[in-house]
């Protein structure tokens, strides 16, 4: 990730791919977005979450310059909202996607590659690359009118990835996909990040977001109510184990991280969740018997529901 140092305090801060201050959108009497303050760092996968009608798609449209803000300001890739040069460096999968039914998948991608200004010499190889990435190799000559919804969404994702955009904005990229497709998309997004793209992802599938995103913002009624990394929002990952017959010498377990005894549970905190199977194997190797394993961190879904209920309580109070 590229970084710059502020000359005033010499503190190194990540460059921001997206920055908004008090961004607001009102349609007649509907406040679609109240006042959005958002920072997305260059190179991260950022989850943009919120209930139906919170203003996520409206925010995306404002970031893309597809609609103008009623108030507030923002920048994308260092340029003001709607800037043409910045737009040329953004890949976008819309929430409601539909492609020209009479065109083949390859023709749709060729159209997008041309619109994105990709040099013609690069187009063929680039289209092959994204077809492969989204699992449509071999289906590229079929008309999209005959595609299932999931295949159309894969095609849209491919179009958003053409030319390795600096910023990829995906508005619910897995809404039409089966579990295998969703897993594929996680890999595709990680690959896009590895190739240097920043990814802004809007999704209701919080388990997926938790696994994939570096940081998230949760929006209620057009305002960010929580933002940060998973550790900042959910606490340190840990594991809680219910174990019996464990010998007194637990030094092999202490090698995984600090041990604690909490309400009869053996807790290791912090612990990378990927190491949980190794911890269980180590307990068994010591002669211990494992009765229960709890990954021991609050889930993003739990945080979201708590925030949502809190919002409802505040609204009820106002109404009373």
Q: Which residues contact 261 (CB under 8 A, 6 or more apart)?
A: 267
Site string for ligand ATP, 37-76 (x = CB under 6 A): -------------x-xxxxxxx------------------
- Scan residues 276-315 and list those touching ligand ATP (CB under 6 A): none
Where does this chain touch ligand ATP (CB under 6 A) — which range of 27-35, 110-118, 281-289, 302-310?
Answer: 27-35
Q: By CB under 5 A, is residue 174 in contact with Mg ion?
A: no
Q: Which residues contact 97 (CB under 8 A, 6 or more apart)?
A: 152, 153, 156
Contact 153, 94 (CB under 8 A): no
Q: By CB under 5 A, is residue 58 in contact with Mg ion?
A: no
Locate 73 and state its tokens.
Answer: 């300001």
Sign of CA dihedral 295, 203, 173, 75: negative
* Residue environment code for 118-127, b if the CB has 16+ CB neighbours within 10 A, otherwise e: beeeebeebb
Site string for ligand ATP, 95-134 (x = CB under 6 A): x---------------------------------------
Sign of CA dihedral 132, 134, 140, 142: positive
Q: How far apart are CA 145 and CA 2, in angstroms?
A: 42
Q: What's the min distance (Å) between Cβ of 58 and ligand ATP?
A: 3
Between residues 57 and 144, which has the closer beta carbon with respect to ligand ATP?
57
Q: By CB under 6 A, is residue 243 in contact with ligand ATP?
A: no
Q: By CB under 5 A, is residue 57 in contact with Mg ion?
A: yes
Q: What's the min distance (Å) between Cβ of 165 and Mg ion?
A: 20
- Report the interface residues with ligand ATP, using CB under 6 A: 27, 30, 32, 50, 52-58, 95
């Amino acid at each position: 990730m590229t970084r710059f140092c502020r000359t005033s305090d010499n503190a190194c801060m990540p460059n921001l791919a997206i920055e908004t201050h008090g961004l607001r959108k009102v349609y007649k009497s509907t406040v679609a977005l109240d006042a959005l303050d958002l920072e997305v760092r260059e190179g991260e996968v950022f989850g943009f979450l919120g209930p139906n009608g919170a203003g996520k798609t409206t925010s995306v449209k404002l970031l893309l310059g597809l609609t103008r803000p009623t108030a507030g300001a923002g920048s994308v890739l260092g340029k003001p909202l709607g800037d043409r040069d910045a737009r040329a460096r953004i890949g976008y999968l819309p929430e409601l996607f539909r492609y020209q039914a009479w065109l083949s998948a390859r023709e749709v991608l060729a159209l997008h590659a041309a619109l994105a200004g990709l040099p013609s010499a690069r187009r063929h190889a680039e289209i092959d690359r994204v077809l492969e990435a989204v699992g449509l190799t071999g289906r590229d000559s079929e008309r999209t009118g005959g595609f299932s919804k999931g295949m159309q969404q894969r095609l849209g994702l491919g179009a958003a990835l053409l030319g390795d955009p600096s910023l990829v904005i995906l508005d619910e990229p897995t809404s039409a996909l089966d579990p295998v497709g969703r897993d594929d998309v996680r890999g595709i997004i990680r690959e896009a990040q590895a190739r240097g793209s920043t990814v802004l992802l809007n999704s209701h599938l919080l388990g997926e977001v938790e696994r994939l995103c570096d940081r998230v913002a949760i929006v209620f009624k057009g305002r960010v109510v929580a933002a940060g990394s998973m550790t900042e929002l959910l606490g340190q990952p840990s594991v809680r184990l219910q174990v019996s017959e464990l010998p007194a010498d637990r030094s092999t377990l202490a090698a995984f991280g600090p041990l604690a005894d909490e309400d009869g549970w053996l807790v290791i905190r912090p612990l990378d969740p990927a190491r949980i199977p190794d911890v269980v194997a180590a307990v068994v190797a010591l002669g211990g018997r494992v009765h229960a394993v709890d990954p021991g961190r609050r889930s993003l879904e739990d945080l979201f529901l708590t925030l949502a209920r809190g919002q409802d309580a505040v609204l009820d109070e106002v109404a009373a």
